[in-house]
Amino acid sequence: MIFLTMNRELTTMNRLNQLFNTKNKNLLSVYFTAGYPELNSTVSIAEALEKAGVDFLEIGFPYSDPVADGPTIQHSSQVALDNGMNLNLLFEQLAELRSKVSIPVLLMGYVNPMVQYGVERFCQKAAEVGVDGVIVPDLPMYEYEMLYKDVFAKHGISNIFLVTPQTSEDRIRKIDGLSNSFVYLLSSASITGKALQLNNEVDTYFGRIKAMQLKNPTVVGFGIGDNAAFTKACEYNNGAIVGSAFVKYLGSRKDYLEGINDFVKGLRG
> Residues interacting with another protein, by CB under 8 A?
63-68, 70-71, 74, 78, 81, 86-88, 110-117, 137-140, 142-143, 146, 161-164, 166-168, 171, 186, 189-191, 194
Helix (H, G, I), strand (E, B) or coil at 162: strand
Q: Which residue, 170 or 255, is less far from another protein as judged by CB?
A: 170
Catalytically annotated residues: 58, 69
Between residues 145 and 262, which has the closer beta carbon with respect to another protein? 145
Q: Cα–Cα distance between 179 and 141 in angstroms, integer?
A: 11
Q: How far is the CB of 160 from another protein (least distance, A)?
A: 11
Pairing of strands 158-160, 162-163: unpaired
Residue placing its CB nearer to another protein in the complex, 44 or 164: 164
Do the Cβ atoms of 39 and 83 come closer than 8 Å? yes
Question: C-beta of 161: minimal distance to another protein in Å?
Answer: 7
β-sheet bridge partners, residue 186: 221
**DSSP structure string for 90-152:** HHHHHHHHHHH--S-EEEE--HHHHHHH-HHHHHHHHHHTT--EEE-TTS-HHHIIIIIHHHH
Shortest Cβ distance from residue 143 to another protein (Å)?
Answer: 6
Q: How far is the CB of 2 from another protein (least distance, A)?
A: 29
Backbone φ and ψ for 157, nearest 5 degrees, come out as -95, 125
Nearer to another protein, 40 or 116 (CB): 116
